[in-house]
Amino acid sequence: MKISGLNLDISWKNKEENFSKITEQFSDVVADIYLLPEMFATGFCMQPAEIADRNGETLKWMQEFARDKDAAVCGSVSVEDSGKFYNRMYFVKPDGSWEKYDKRHLFSFSGEDKVYTAGKERVVVNYNGFRILLQVCYDLRFPVFSRNKGDYDLALYVANWPEKRVAAWQHLLKARAIENLAGVFGLNRIGKDGNDLVYTESSHAFFADGTELSTKDGNIISAEFNLTELQDFRSHFRFLDDGDRFAIED
């Protein structure tokens, strides 16, 4: 399965401009899943009342994109739902059906927890034979939540992770792949946001042993994941069988 992500220089609070950028930069790219950064339509904005989707406008655009590409598209969006705001990750399939994951770990350092509501459900999507765990940015720092209980093969992380802390992002992505015997694809944004935070190109894809899988062509990062190879690797190194048993409490 091929995944292609866009290292997007997100236009601040400008959905239509970002949709246009994405469509153009992916125009000649063929993949099974197209991956977009955290809050790709607006940037990581702490004024959800100004930018949040209320009528599913970004989801509708994603559905059109998925149908046009005959592939899945995945990324996170600021949305209002039943009077609350969520940093919501959508996984949209070619037929327009979709699943969602609401970011559980809100970035208190920026005040995200004051304006957005944390999700509670861990979400694994089934697509093209792969079981895919959906994760957003700050979730990466909490390994208990992403602990592989034998229920996923690949984890997708989308982020707005600034340059000043990017070393942690890069090291933790590889660690999640190794400790969970899973493929990991981490997509970060690039450029500068409306708060003058700088984002450097730092997207990566790893095999379960920590081997880098990604290839880069301009702002496009791609990786091929082979389920047979992953299953074979797991059959030889059955480390998950020795993991401690525990449950996450709210």
| Residues assigned a catalytic role | 38, 103, 137
Going by C-alpha positions, the residue among 197, 196, 175 that lies closest to residue 186 is 175
What residue spans of 98-242 are helical by DSSP H? 112-115, 166-180, 227-236
Element (H, E) at 86: strand 84-92
User: What CA–CA distance (Å, rounded) separates 225 from 108?
Assistant: 34
What's the CA gap between 189 and 245, in Å, rounded? 35
Whether 221 contacts 36, CB under 8 Å: no
| Overall residue count recorded for the chain in this entry | 250
Which residue, 194, 193, 109, 124, is CA-closest to 155?
A: 124
